Amino acid sequence: MLAGARARIDALDDEILDLLEKRADIAREIAVAKQKAKIESFHDPERERQVLERLAHRGEGRFPPDAVRAVFREVMSACLSVEQPLRVAYLGPEGTFSQMAARHLFGLSARYRECATIDAVFDAVQSRDATYGVVPIENSTEGAVSMTSDALLDGQLLIRQEYILPVSHCLLTRASSLSAIDTVYSHPQALAQCRLWIAKHLPRAQVVQTTSTAAAAREAQADDRAAAIGAAIASEIHDVPILSRNIQDRPENATRFVVLGHDDAKPSGRDRTTLAFGVTHHEGALRRVLTEFETAGVNLTRIESRPSRQKAWQYVFLVDVEGHRDSPELAKALKGARHSATFVKVIGSYPRSDPPAPKGKPSPKTRGRKGKG
């Protein structure tokens, strides 16, 4: 019985592998076709999203939809690596949420390069040492990541994809109880996302900032009276046990990451555009620019102001709007904004990514079983 079933699994695995080889051959054909058509980016995130969603819904549930996504994520990562190996820079070191986001977006077959700072990720892509870069842009609890905003404003790179990663923090420590902890290490963003938890559970501990959550885990590894706040994956990588899980103040805590490149994405039908503009110091100047979007029927999803860094007390505004810059509505709004603003800079159009459904409540799309289609 057992031997027979295993023989059937072996036969199926052979078939699956033969099919994967055929799939990789077709990916090579597509690479040639893209080269002929002078398409610069072989990587096509919107096509990948469609492949994953179609297959996750097509399954009958005996192989879980999340596993379908995970398997085909790697299949596509491998097929892409035979077309054109991707080099992806991310904010390291290993064990950070940026690494989790990069792996989710590009799979295990991409070549990764960890960078010590957000600016270094921008530099790696700008100099073409990396094809793409993955950086955090905002957190649902803490707001904008200002280093990313400033680098987007100053540089030439464009956003071509976004991904919202649910961020669940753990307390990593070799101490056996909270009372044995003197010092808590973490990145300022993570500390801020767990501020109330720290005040309640570790009121006497000294709080020390580190350059990353993974660097904090290394501190906790070295000292059994220290703890780090970081991702569960950092516990494995840096060999520090988890004492408490889900310690972020807001259960729905999530970070939005963006992929940087030299070109942005084609319209997908559900897009977002990030742009920046400046206004003069006159009454109603900001309102006039915003009215251009309103009258063109363009919905604003985020607005942030940053110091211009050219003159004190002058500001630039970074906004996210719904739609692609090539759409008639947004093209019209941008034309109007160019008249009302001192400058307008488009930082990229890319497919919109939905925030993840809360745990235990599957999104309407994935609920229940669907027939093959």
Ligand X SMILES: C=C(O[C@@H]1C=C(C(=O)O)C=C[C@H]1O)C(=O)O
The amino acid that residue 76 corresponds to is: M
SS3 content of the chain, % helix, strand, coil (to 5): 40, 25, 35
Closer residue to ligand X, CB minimum distance, 51 or 147: 51
Q: Give the nearer residue to ligand X in terms of CB position, either 79 or 175.
A: 79
Rounded least distance, CB 354 to ligand X, Å: 20
Q: State the number of binding residues for ligand X (CB under 6 A).
A: 12
Q: Per-residue x/- marks for ligand X, 101-120, CB under 6 A? A: --------------------
Q: Is 53 in the site for ligand X (CB under 6 A)?
A: no
Q: Hey, what are 315's tokens?
A: 């500001």
| Of residues 21 and 283, the one with the C-beta less far from ligand X | 21
Q: Is 47 in the site for ligand X (CB under 6 A)?
A: yes
Which C-beta is closer to ligand X: that of 51 or that of 242? 51
Region of 359 (left: φ > 0; alpha: ψ -120 to 50; beta: rest) is: beta
Nearest distance in Å: CB 101, ligand X = 17
Residue span binding ligand X (CB under 6 A) among the ranges 42-50, 207-215, 290-298, 305-313: 42-50
- Pairing verdict, β 226-230 and 315-322: unpaired
Let me know if 291 is a catalytic residue: no
Span near ligand X by CB under 6 A; candidates 47-55, 217-225, 272-280, 286-294? 47-55
Task: For ligand X, give the closer residue by CB, 27 or 279.
Answer: 27
Which of the ranges 11-19, 39-47, 161-169, 297-305 carries the binding residues for ligand X, by CB under 6 A? Answer: 39-47
Tell me which of 44, 94, 249, 304 binds ligand X, using CB under 6 A.
44
From the list 72, 97, 122, 257, the catalytic residue is 257
Please pick, among 96, 210, 213, 255, the residue that the annotation labels catalytic. Answer: 255
Burial of 244 (0-12, 13-18, 19+ CB in 10 A): middle
Nearest distance from residue 48's CB to ligand X, in Å? Answer: 5
The residues, any chain, with a CB within 8 Å of residue 85's CB and separated by 6 or more, are: 109, 110, 111
* Residues in region 8-37 near ligand X by CB under 6 A: 27, 30
List C-alpha distances in Å: 3 to 9, 11, 14, 166, 199: 10, 12, 16, 42, 58
Residue with nearest beta carbon to ligand X: 79
The residue count of the chain comes to 373
Residues 49, 51, 53, 370: which binds ligand X (CB under 6 A)? 51
In the complex, minimum distance from the CB of residue 163 to ligand X, in angstroms, rounded to a whole number:
15
Residue 355 in tokens: 């925030």
The dihedral built from the CA positions of residue 27, 28, 30 and 31, taken in this order, carries a sign that is positive
φ, ψ dihedrals at 260, nearest 5° = -100, 140
What's the closest the beta carbon of residue 27 comes to ligand X, in angstroms?
A: 4
Residues of this chain, 65-104, that bind ligand X according to CB under 6 A: 76, 79-80, 83
Instruction: Look at phi and psi of residue 25 and say left if phi exceeds 0, alpha if psi is from -120 to 50, else beta.
Output: alpha
Residue 257 a catalytic site member: yes
Q: Could you tell me the sign of the dihedral formed by the alpha carbons of 30, 31, 33, 37, in that order?
A: positive
Concatenated DSSP letters for 167-232? ---EEEESSSSGGG--EEEE-HHHHHHTHHHHHHH-TTSEEEE-SSHHHHHHHHHH-TTEEEEE-H
Amino acid identity of 202? Answer: L
List the beta bridge partners of residue 134. Answer: 90, 259
Q: Which of residues 76 and 220 has its CB atom nearest to ligand X in the complex?
A: 76
In the complex, least distance from residue 320 CB atom to ligand X, rounded to whole angstroms: 24
Both tokens of residue 351?
Answer: 């497919």
Shortest reach from residue 353's CB to ligand X, in Å: 16
Name which of 316, 311, 335, 315 is nearest 325 in CA terms. 335
* Residues within the interface to ligand X (CB under 6 A): 27, 30, 42-44, 47-48, 51, 76, 79-80, 83
Q: Which residues are catalytic?
A: 255, 257
